[in-house]
Amino acid sequence: MIFTTKRSIFLGLVLPLLASCSLNYNTASQVIPVVSASIFGVDDIDVTDEMIMKRRLSFVKINFGKSAVGLMSLLSISSNNVYEWISEDDVRIYTFNGKIIKTLNLNDGGISIQNGTAFLEKEINGIYDINLHQPEAFVTQDYSISKELDESGNILIKEFVKTNGFKWEYTNTYLYSDELVPIQSEQEIHPNIPKVKLTFYFKNN
């Protein structure tokens, strides 16, 4: 991606609801040519109602800490409900229930969680098997999940993660509407990459 930088009842409910909602979301594969007017830079992007109206595709705003920001369009939704997002220079991220489970073409590292589609599906505790790229490594992580409601009635999921074999512990957060549609997430995805913040903007047909 081209960036300018400066040196407890929710389980079993998430996937069915998201799957039913996802059928109405525009994807890049439905709109030819692909429109992905990405904006990059160190200043944050103010996503206005006008901007949302002008875009034909569902999209995410992605922040890498405070160092970079951009927009990525929804390219496709797989049969197992993995969402593929793409930038205009072919950086791709794949999300499941709002969690990044795979990346492609990131300059500073990448990740592929082999069992990422287990997120929020059955257990509140589990293990991830992860392939890290740049440098190449295979690691396992123990995770546990908690749930609470915020002041607006949205669902806040906290994911506590501990890496086996080296010191990399962190907490990811995921915010969902009361209909369990992703709103925003903040995640650690790689030791060399700043925390990634995703803000989701879904558009209906």
User: Could you give the CA distance from residue 170 to residue 162 in angstroms, rounded to a whole number?
Assistant: 7
75-129 pLDDT tens trace: 999 999 999 999 988 999 999 999 999 999 987 789 999 989 888 876 688 999 9
**Sign of the Cα pseudo-torsion (164, 186, 16, 24, in order):** negative
Considering the entire predicted model, what is its pTM?
0.81
138-166 pLDDT tens trace: 999 999 999 999 988 999 999 999 999 98
Higher-confidence residue of 17 and 142: namely 142
**Sign of the Cα pseudo-torsion (114, 23, 9, 171, in order):** positive
Provide the pLDDT for residue 123.
Answer: 66
Segments of 30-136 assigned E as strands: 59-64, 68-77, 83-86, 92-96, 99-104, 110-113, 125-133
Provide the pLDDT for residue 21.
Answer: 41
